[in-house]
Amino acid sequence: MAVSKKIALVTGAGSGIGKHIALALLRNDYSVVLAGRRITALEETMAAAGALAAHALPVSADVSDPASVKALFATISEQFGRLDLLFNNVGIFTKSASLEEVDFAQWKASVDVNLTGAFLCTQEAFKIMKAQTPGGGRIINNGSIAAHVPRPNSVAYTATKHAITGLTKSASLDGRKYNIACGQIDIGNAATDMTERMEQGILQANGQVAVEPTMAVENVANAVLYMASLPLDANVQFMTVMATNMPFIGRG
């Protein structure tokens, strides 16, 4: 495999924001490990990369499974010998339901993937980044507008995204001694296949259903590229990039 200057890992790289971030990193002189549960989806990202696919490595991995995460990072160590950037992106939305009606299995699935998955990947990234030469690296967590305010009937997703903020802060603090910078990007209504429902109408806090504005996902990619471009002695701790007119500021 052709290896470029920096090595990045993107989880959930087979679709949505993860796919777009992976492609943007490939276009900006990174070798990118594409992680996701479905290898066919990762291969679609490879196909979209064209000639740059020579700098991409697809790895089937389940971030909620500690053994799978360890195997993923062992592959990174074996193939590249280092890791410069981790983009903790993978996340799931469970069925919309009022808090008292949320099924425990759906709650657990959200925690396992959205929170535990990000923790496990961060933990393994720390182990590589603190030991490599030169030491250090950068971790960027995909938070959400839900890390600030909930949508109706979204307790599991919202709780995990609020928890991502705590993970970001702890990783940022604990990473200081290893020259590991950790920041978080909170994204609102980026237009992907996962947000098509917003253009058809989505439940609002007042009980009405309304169409919400979206923005081009390229804006997210550019924001992540900026965060990743900083030297390790500088860090974007938190960034919010959102559709200007979406209901967030003032929640309306």
Nearest one of 46, 50, 48 to 60, comparing CA atoms: 46
Do the domain assignments include residue 100? yes
pTM of the model: 0.93
- Check pLDDT > 80 for residue 197: no
**Helix axes of 16-26 and 218-229: crossing angle, nearest 10 degrees:** 50
247 preceded by a cis bond (ω within 30 of 0): no
- Report CA-CA distances (Å) from 112 to 33, 62, 68: 22, 10, 13
**What torsion, rounded to 10 degrees, do the Cα atoms 78, 82, 85, 91 define?**
30
3-state secondary structure of 214: coil
Do the domain assignments include residue 45? yes
The tens digit of pLDDT for each residue in 104-138 reads: 999 999 999 999 999 999 999 999 999 999 999 99
Share of the chain above pLDDT 70, in %: 96
Do the domain assignments include residue 96? yes
Do the domain assignments include residue 1? no
Residue ranges making up the domain that contains 230: 6-243
Domain count of the chain? 1
- Report CA-CA distances (Å) from 80 to 6, 19, 238: 10, 21, 29
Do the domain assignments include residue 250? no
Do the domain assignments include residue 117? yes
Report d(CA 103, CA 85) in Å as an integer. Answer: 35
Do the domain assignments include residue 249? no
The tens digit of pLDDT for each residue in 138-176 reads: 999 999 999 998 888 989 999 999 999 999 999 999 999
Residues whose CB is less than 8 angstroms from the CB of residue 105 and which lie 6 or more positions away in sequence, other chains included = none
Report d(CA 47, CA 192) in Å as an integer. Answer: 18
Output the domain CATH number for residue 172.
3.40.50.720
What band does 211 get if pLDDT is binned at 50, 70 and 90? confident
Give the pLDDT confidence score for residue 204 in this predicted structure: 84
Please, is 78 exposed, middle or buried when counting C-beta atoms within 10 Å of its C-beta (0-12, 13-18, 19+)?
exposed
Do the domain assignments include residue 252? no
- Check pLDDT > 90 for residue 85: yes
- For residues 196 and 40, the model is more confident at 40
Give the pLDDT confidence score for residue 245 in this predicted structure: 87
Out of 1-15, 101-115, 128-142, 177-191, least confident range? 1-15
User: Has 226 been annotated as catalytic?
Assistant: no
What band does 2 get if pLDDT is binned at 50, 70 and 90? very low
**What torsion, rounded to 10 degrees, do the Cα atoms 46, 52, 57, 61 define?**
-40
What band does 195 get if pLDDT is binned at 50, 70 and 90? low
Report d(CA 228, CA 8) in Å as an integer. Answer: 10
- Check pLDDT > 80 for residue 250: no
